Structure 1
Amino acid sequence: MINFFGSIWWLLVTLGILVTFHEFGHFWVARRLGVKVLRFSIGFGKPLWKRIGKDGTEYVIAAIPLGGYVKFLDSRETELVGDEIAQDFNKKPVWKRAAITIAGPAANLLFTLVALWAMFVIGKPDYQPIVGRVQGIAAQSGFVDGDRLVQIGATPVTTWTDATLTLVTAAIDRHPVDVKVIDPSGSPQTRRLDLSKIEAGKNETAAMRATGLVPKQFQMPIVGTLEKNGPAEKAGLQVRDEIRAVNGKPTPDWEAMVLAIRGESSAGAPLALTVRRGDETVNLSVQARQDTEKNGEKVWRLGLGAPADAPYDALLRYGPLDAIPAAWRETVNLTTQTLGMLKRMLIGTASLNNLSGVISIAEYANVSAQKGIAWFIQFLALISLSLCIMNLLPIPILDGGHLVYYLIESIKGSPVSERVLIAGQYAGLVLLAALMGLALFNDIMRQLPS
């Protein structure tokens, strides 16, 4: 229930910020180009709050917070007289109307740049791109435990998030990709990850798992959960403790810890655990419990589980000046990846299941907010960039559709006919409703047990 209300709250924050920026882009440029703005609305439907500004614009916060709009003075809707004629949006030159239209997506793009700059200045905690375990395709391609990823294809890698975003795209394409690494001995190597071996029909998540690269941080022997009154809890182990050794045997990863517990345990002989707790080293004694598996196998357990996530071990941070080109590079990279994914969905190499709707956005907003301010700012940047790109699609009721009309007008020397405008509106509504319906369907399917 807490997650539900948290998701709703952070969704409202996200949409409130990004819709305001988008509509302000239209508003600001329209005012500068001499167009009168009748209404600036955040949300649709019944107004919850409104006031008339000194500029004569009605400012509104409406009941349905899934968008917004700016209403201009338009002679197609009402008869104008006197000074109003000069402020008519419909009578402005085509380049001015195009500039006002493109200003909304441009505001979202500017927000993305500024948000990413802020994220880099604040510093985003992340994971180092170090491989903890190799299996499947990665093992066949010569990767070894401890490889540090440096570059995947032509894309430099500084964090595991970078690696994941790049690997997902490569996995969808099913093409071999050269990966530059620093091996455990410190030597640079180039390994070819043959992603053509990924089976056809696997979705993006399954394809990513099929690469066989598992981050080191999720293999760490860190306590994530404790069984109530289990051996570990009784011995004084705590969540986030790192088990460094069992009976003096080092446990560099979770698998080594499990093997050590099972190999060193016996009835009546407690295990000596060396535990790292914060900045301290703690020595604990715990008697393992023997359980019987469904297949009849007897195993020794301490009553603890792995964490759902792992502590961050990297901080992506730049100074205020260095953050400017870093934000630009990240914006270009994210734009390229987003457009690439759209292309792949259109040609069928990527699943339409990648479309996300308001439910997924709400969940991601809540998760990123819980991770910290830098993660939430990055989330805002990603959604803002998505809004920019989506609004530039050539769908008639979106900004991109209006730009297509203006392009036609500039070529033929006159606006498109009212009949074409109306037909385009209906076609656009149907297409947009279909996309939103598919996104909502995907959201609902993600909520169902797999």
Structure 2
Amino acid sequence: MTSFFGSVFWLLVTLGVLVTFHEFGHYWVARRCGVKVLRFSVGFGNAIWKRIGRDGTEYCIAAIPLGGYVKMLDAREGEVDPALADQEFTGKPVWQRIAIVLAGPGFNLVFTVLALWLMFVLGKPDVAPVVTAAPHSLAAQAGVRPGDRLLKVDGKAVSAWSDAYESIAMATLGRGPLPLEVRDPDGGVRDLLLPLQQLPAGKAVDEYMDALGLDLNPPPPVAAVVTPGQPAALAGLRSGDRIVSVNGQAVADFDALNKLIPQEAARSPTLRIVVQRGGQTLPFTVQAHMASLQGQPEKWLIGVGPAEREPAVRRYGPLEAVGAALASTRDGVAAMLTMIGKLVTGEASTKNLSGVIGIAQAAQVSAQMGPAWFLSFLAQISLCLAVLNLLPIPVLDGGHLLYYLIELVKGSPVSERTMIIGQYIGLAVLFMLMGLAFYNDIHRTLLS
């Protein structure tokens, strides 16, 4: 339940910030163009807070926080006082109406750059892309070995696991051979080719990544942390002990240890653990106990922790961060357009669509990882809002932009009948996409 309320809270924070910024773009440019703004609303439905500004605009926060809008003086919505005719939206030149429409997505792009700039200045904590491959997986087939460090993905240098993961995940949508450059623990550099063409069609990206079998290399089975007062410490284990076996079963790495302890303790909490310490092999009897870590369900634990993975923090000075933020925004736009193109052509599955539930879950996870990660998440969602709002779908900003571009070409506005038909089509498309995204979210939640 705590996780649920946390997700809702961070979803509201995300939508509140990004919707306000988006609608402020429309509002600010409309005011610069001399259009009277009647209402600036964050959310839909009944207002839970409102006030009238000195400019006569009603500012309000509404009960349904899944969007927002700016209502301008518009002759299509009723009679306009002749005294205010020069402040009416449809009476403005078409280039001003285009500017007002573009301002919302434009401000989202600005927000993306600002969020990424601050993220790079703060430094985004990450880990080095030192990887392993699951046995018999496509990554193993390509020649990935435990301890390999990814240097380049498709010719692009990577220094952190999240960057490498994102590049590979996007490449799975194309399902074509993907070049990698790796360095093994001995310093040798090799060129590999991931056979993504062997991935089946019609799967979600996370399913492709599971099939690929590429993951971070697990830490060795060394008890880098031995918590005082816990079973391992009480039995005599010390920090730095290398765990060789549990109940006679060999331990290859710390991930294997985490699976083996609950498995063996479920049979009997008394565990026979053998460790290596300073050239000696020492046996211990450890009494495991049931406990919970960070709000997770209870499981059998002995109170040992692994060594931290090699850190990889991307941090720049204020000036360098500008270039990095702009480059990341450019790459993000390209990735979004690629994804949309593949969805339209059927190369990418609609299983990749995610909705409000997915955004809420991702918002909470990123917030828990720290300010830099949450800024990165906000930047991604803001970029999505910018690109998706520019799609030529009626009721979106891109649909209005399409109408105004047609008006520029034909020299007169699109007929009201055409606009009404377009709105119905646009609403149908949006509801279909929202329903599909919601179904995907529910499906993922039930399977997780």
Tell me the CA shift for residue 48 of structure 1.
0.7
Partner of 1:319: 317
Tell me the CA shift for residue 315 of structure 1.
1.2
Q: Deviations over 1:117-138 (max 9, x none)?
A: 1011111111111113454222
SS at 1:127 equivalent: coil
Partner of 1:27: 27
Tell me the CA shift for residue 242 of structure 1.
6.9
**1:271 is matched by which residue type in structure 2?**
V
Q: How much is the aligned-residue C-alpha RMSD, in angstroms?
A: 3.5
Tell me the CA shift for residue 202 of structure 1.
4.7
Identify which of 266, 271, 274 aligns with 1:271: 274
Partner of 2:381: 383
Partner of 1:430: 428
- Is structure 2 residue 47 aligned with structure 1 residue 47? yes
Q: Separation in 2 of the partners of 1:163 and 1:65? A: 34
- Is structure 2 residue 2 aligned with structure 1 residue 2? yes
Q: Separation in 2 of the partners of 1:436 and 1:4? A: 21
**1:344 is matched by which residue type in structure 2?**
K
Shift in CA distance, 259/379, structure 1 to aligned 2, threshold 3 Å: closer
Tell me the CA shift for residue 145 of structure 1.
2.1
TM-score, structure 1 length as denominator? Answer: 0.84
Q: Separation in 1 of the partners of 2:304 and 2:142? A: 28
Partner of 2:352: 354
Tell me the CA shift for residue 303 of structure 1.
5.2
- Is structure 2 residue 132 aligned with structure 1 residue 125? no
SS at 2:70 equivalent: strand
Question: Contact 2:272–2:283 (CA<8 Å) still a contact in 1?
Answer: no
Q: Deviations over 1:199-219 (max 9, x none)?
A: 455542232123232212x44
Q: How do 1:36-115 and structure 2 match up within 5 A?
A: 36-115=36-115
Shift in CA distance, 246/115, structure 1 to aligned 2, threshold 3 Å: same
Partner of 2:163: 162
**1:353 is matched by which residue type in structure 2?**
K
Q: Separation in 2 of the partners of 1:242 and 1:203? A: 41
Identify which of 361, 364, 367 aligns with 2:365: 367
Tell me the CA shift for residue 328 of structure 1.
1.0
Q: How do 1:197-208 and structure 2 match up within 5 A?
A: 197-200=198-201, 202-208=203-209
Question: Contact 2:42–2:68 (CA<8 Å) still a contact in 1?
Answer: yes
Partner of 1:189: 190
Q: Separation in 1 of the partners of 2:256 and 2:353? A: 39
**1:91 is matched by which residue type in structure 2?**
G
Tell me the CA shift for residue 79 of structure 1.
2.6
Partner of 1:253: 253
SS at 1:322 equivalent: helix
Which deviates more from structure 2 when the two are superposed, residues 145-154 or residues 120-129?
Answer: 145-154
Tell me the CA shift for residue 182 of structure 1.
2.2
Partner of 2:116: 116
Tell me the CA shift for residue 235 of structure 1.
2.7
Which deviates more from structure 2 when the two are superposed, residues 36-45 or residues 332-341?
Answer: 332-341
Shift in CA distance, 60/139, structure 1 to aligned 2, threshold 3 Å: same
Q: Deviations over 1:327-377 (max 9, x none)?
A: 111111122112211222222222211111111111111111111111111
SS at 2:164 equivalent: helix
Partner of 1:333: 331
Question: Contact 1:148–1:182 (CA<8 Å) still a contact in 2?
Answer: yes
SS at 1:287 equivalent: strand
Shift in CA distance, 274/198, structure 1 to aligned 2, threshold 3 Å: farther
Q: Separation in 1 of the partners of 2:356 and 2:271? A: 56
SS at 1:315 equivalent: coil
Tell me the CA shift for residue 273 of structure 1.
5.5
Q: Separation in 2 of the partners of 1:138 and 1:330? A: 27
**1:390 is matched by which residue type in structure 2?**
L
Question: Contact 1:132–1:219 (CA<8 Å) still a contact in 2?
Answer: no
SS at 1:151 equivalent: strand
**1:191 is matched by which residue type in structure 2?**
L
Shift in CA distance, 215/60, structure 1 to aligned 2, threshold 3 Å: same
Q: Separation in 2 of the partners of 1:222 and 1:174? A: 38
Gaps of 5+ in 1: 262-266, 276-282, 291-301
**1:174 is matched by which residue type in structure 2?**
R
Partner of 2:404: 406
Question: Contact 1:50–1:60 (CA<8 Å) still a contact in 2?
Answer: yes
Q: Separation in 1 of the partners of 2:101 and 2:273? A: 72
Shift in CA distance, 310/197, structure 1 to aligned 2, threshold 3 Å: farther
Shift in CA distance, 356/308, structure 1 to aligned 2, threshold 3 Å: farther
Partner of 1:214: 215
Q: Separation in 2 of the partners of 1:260 and 1:361? A: 34
